[in-house]
Structure 1
Amino acid sequence: MTGRLPPEPPTWLKDLIAAVPELDAHPQFISDIYALHQRFPDAATADLLTHFAACLLRTAEPMRAMNHLLRYLDVSAAPEALWHQWQLYPEQVTYTLTILAESSFLSTMLCRHPDWLLWLLEDAINRPSPLPDALAAELQQQLQDDSQQAGAEAADTLRAFTHRHLLRIGAQDLNDLADIEAATAALSTLADTVVQAGVDHCRRELDAEHGKPMFVDGTGEQRPCGFCVIGMGKLGGYELNFSSDIDLMFVYDSYEGQTSGAVLNDQWRAPISNHEYFVKLAQRLTNIIGGNGPDGQAFRVDLRLRPDGTQGQLALALLAYEAYYTRFGQTWEQMALLKARPIAGDARLGAAFMALVEPFVYQRHLDREGLTRIQDMKREIDAQIADKAQSHTNVKLGLGGIREIEFFIQIHQLIYGGRYPELQDRQSLSALSKLRDAGFFDPELETTLRESYIYLRRLEHRLQMEQGSQTHTLPRQDSSRQRLARQYGFDSWDAFYQDYLDKTQTVHDVFTRVFDHDLEPPGNPSETPSA
């Protein structure tokens, strides 16, 4: 939709260009704005377009914002509704154009679901994220006929629900309406909610096919066999990023026992073992959450943190986890379990799992061999990144990146967490504050690492929201670089990149000092934190 300008521009357009003189350098925008006036010719349009033009030129990439807007208006069944919303709330012009300029992923989502933009502006963008119970109730309302839905239909519902709330969270993040802790917590709560709904759906299906799994507990009483999903990594720490895998493990009460059997389609189905039932449950849950539909997935699911990794069973009984970690548990698994959190299923079983792994994770003493393994892990990551020429462009794994701050925190937790329970905290920034309070480093260092972590996590989100992809690498294309620089208030990529290098070098200097030189197994009072 481009308007052909008349030989003599109308008075309203002359006034608009006088009010926003930067438009003189963008004749295409002047034509597009003229076309918008023709499309929405009410009396208030001229004033709104003046505001629109000023907002457009302040975006990180005005041409892309305009193109995405025109595409949206073409596919929307009621484009005038957006125009009316902007007239009522002019600040929402900036909100909308920021999304359209800075995220192709969210812009495409809006073109597929045009009605979501009005929902976002009217009901969501200026409100705090729903509390977990409210979010769960909203999803259950959408799944109210779930007992009659096939798995594919339920998966479509979960995907649509996830994507609409990704739009809400992403829009708030891009418009600086939520800090990074609120954004990552909202993403984690969304994942928790979707996983719980998936568990409920898959259990209903399997119970109808095989009956309920039962086992005899320690008192000799037969009762239903519980199942729990353990969130790991950033999900476990309430720190999920915008395009992250969700790392999961599955635990159930007992290998002993079997299902009660079931009548399905007038046919008796014999019982199956508890293990077979819960492996089926793990498979179905992974597929319903991680399966692809027209709009992609709800969440990518990663199960590699389970015992024996890709060679291990998808679901294990509680005692099997205990046997594995006791006999074969490695230092990297201790680090992974620092963030473990029951996120769905049987809360009682989840608490039992956490109690079981705590002595393995938080040992009273970490020996030199354990510290050496941690150092070797980090050096291996550094070598892999260097091979890919990403040491200074990967915001997660590069030098001075997110992983170094996380390693810094987690090393202290592994060494001292067994003796100082207050350090046992899944969330990075909260744990950082507790380490400061315990005297491990001074407030200035804590502030440096906190500010760097927040900066890097927000940058990670900007990179991922562009295409909805799991990327951590700074862009190579000039247009993408310039857009990112403008998002951060820089006139050039070189200025942005130098600022990035300065920030990451500061983190790397801190990390290197501790990681390469100061790591010693605790054994005498001088190595404990100061008061």
Structure 2
Amino acid sequence: MTFASRIRRVPIAFAPEAGQEAQDLFPDLPPEIRELIRGAAGCSPYLAGLLARERDWISAALTGAPEAALDDALILEGDTDSALRVSLRQAKRRVALLTGLADLAGVWSLEQVTGALTQLADKATHAALTFQVGVEIRRGKLPGQGDDAIETAAGAVALAMGKMGAHELNYSSDIDLIMLFDDSRYDRDAFHDARAAFVRATRRMVSMLSENTHEGYVFRTDLRLRPDPAVTPVCVSMEAAERYYESLGRTWE
């Protein structure tokens, strides 16, 4: 079913002039979608800005099923650090805009809304992590790992906690991650080099997701839920984490 056929409600524009300005950008869309755009932009300057910036993409996206549009928005491309940063922020804008409109119009349920935002976080985290681990592999900093290990991040894992872990992200949520790496993939003599490489990759991953540029940001990223964050590196070996939880972990952990 198309987006338009599933509209159940539209908001009333709090700022009619802003809503009308946004509506005028989309003269060829069906009237029910144009009315939704008017109400959304008239209530949310953020959505009004996204509608103007992503005008061409959202025009095409709203002619079909929102699920197909979401899949398209989540396509991430970029073979350089700067290109991937741009692609991630574009995906954030498009998913936020599509989800906001689907939410306001009653097209998606609450579970679908939070699920779409969480799916963005999952895809973005995976893309940023594997890219940065790939940088370390190509520099020869992860012993025994080749290009075939990039997709699995050479044993690194981003464990989603909080709202992301529960698939309950909202529009302003940050993401809480525990970063681990599988130390069993590395010889004992290579452990320290591997850990140092994963720490560097993790820090760059956080920058890639959190840095606020002229393109925006993806997600504020918090790593402080890891074992004993005051004294441990930002990426912890799985063995060390297991020992911590068995012997020192508090009840809430």
Normalised by the length of structure 1, the TM-score is 0.41
1:59 and 1:241, CA in 2 relative to 1: closer, same or farther beyond 3 A? closer
Residue of 108, 113, 134 corresponding to 1:183: 113
Deviation at 1:253, TM superposition (A): 1.1
Equivalent residues of 2:133, 2:201 under 8 A apart: yes
Residue of 44, 58, 64 corresponding to 1:103: 44
Task: Name 2:200's counterpart in structure 1.
Answer: 280
Task: Name 2:12's counterpart in structure 1.
Answer: 60
Equivalent residues of 1:232, 1:248 under 8 A apart: yes
Describe how 1:249-398 pairs up with structure 2 within 5 A: 249-254=178-183, 256-258=188-190, 273-333=193-253
Equivalent residues of 1:214, 1:257 under 8 A apart: no
Equivalent residues of 1:248, 1:302 under 8 A apart: yes
**Stretches of structure 1 lacking an aligned partner (at least 5 in a row):** 1-57, 74-78, 216-223, 260-271, 334-531
Task: Name 1:243's counterpart in structure 2.
Answer: 172
Deviation at 1:207, TM superposition (A): 1.3
Equivalent residues of 2:41, 2:48 under 8 A apart: yes
Deviation at 1:101, TM superposition (A): 2.4
Task: Show CA shifts across 1:190-224 (max 9, x none).
Answer: 11111111122112212122343449xxxxxxxx9
Equivalent residues of 2:181, 2:238 under 8 A apart: yes
| In 2, Cα distance between equivalents of 1:135 and 1:114 | 15
SS in 2 for 1:212: coil
Question: Does 2:107 correspond to 1:155?
Answer: no
Equivalent residues of 1:232, 1:249 under 8 A apart: yes
Deviation at 1:65, TM superposition (A): 3.7
Question: Does 2:112 correspond to 1:112?
Answer: no
| In 2, Cα distance between equivalents of 1:169 and 1:71 | 17
| In 1, Cα distance between equivalents of 2:118 and 2:19 | 29
Task: Name 1:194's counterpart in structure 2.
Answer: 124
Q: Any runs of at least 4 consecutive aligned residues in structure 1 with deviations exceeding 6 A, and if so which?
A: none
SS in 2 for 1:98: helix
Describe how 1:9-48 pairs up with structure 2 within 5 A: none
1:329 and 1:161, CA in 2 relative to 1: closer, same or farther beyond 3 A? same
**Stretches of structure 2 lacking an aligned partner (at least 5 in a row):** 1-9, 146-152
Deviation at 1:311, TM superposition (A): 4.2
Task: Name 1:229's counterpart in structure 2.
Answer: 158
Task: Show CA shifts across 1:495-517 (max 9, x none).
Answer: xxxxxxxxxxxxxxxxxxxxxxx
Deviation at 1:172, TM superposition (A): 0.4
Task: Name 1:510's counterpart in structure 2.
Answer: none
Equivalent residues of 1:135, 1:193 under 8 A apart: no
Question: Does 2:63 correspond to 1:127?
Answer: no
| In 1, Cα distance between equivalents of 2:109 and 2:11 | 20
Deviation at 1:317, TM superposition (A): 0.6
User: What is the percentage of aligned positions where both structures have the same residue?
Assistant: 28
Task: Name 2:75's counterpart in structure 1.
Answer: 139
Q: Read off the aligned partner of 1:139 and give its amino acid letter.
A: I
Equivalent residues of 1:173, 1:180 under 8 A apart: yes
1:72 and 1:111, CA in 2 relative to 1: closer, same or farther beyond 3 A? farther
Equivalent residues of 1:214, 1:225 under 8 A apart: no
Equivalent residues of 1:172, 1:178 under 8 A apart: yes
| In 2, Cα distance between equivalents of 1:185 and 1:92 | 23
SS in 2 for 1:196: helix
RMSD over equivalenced CA pairs, Å: 2.6
Question: Does 2:27 correspond to 1:83?
Answer: yes
1:210 and 1:65, CA in 2 relative to 1: closer, same or farther beyond 3 A? farther
Equivalent residues of 1:72, 1:114 under 8 A apart: no
1:289 and 1:257, CA in 2 relative to 1: closer, same or farther beyond 3 A? farther
Q: Read off the aligned partner of 2:175 and give its amino acid letter.
A: I
Equivalent residues of 1:135, 1:190 under 8 A apart: no
Question: Which of 1 and 2 has greater Rg?
Answer: 1
Deviation at 1:328, TM superposition (A): 1.5
1:311 and 1:245, CA in 2 relative to 1: closer, same or farther beyond 3 A? farther
| In 1, Cα distance between equivalents of 2:171 and 2:197 | 33
Equivalent residues of 1:139, 1:161 under 8 A apart: yes
Deviation at 1:310, TM superposition (A): 4.7
Normalised by the length of structure 2, the TM-score is 0.82
Q: Read off the aligned partner of 1:226 and give its amino acid letter.
A: G
Deviation at 1:116, TM superposition (A): 3.5
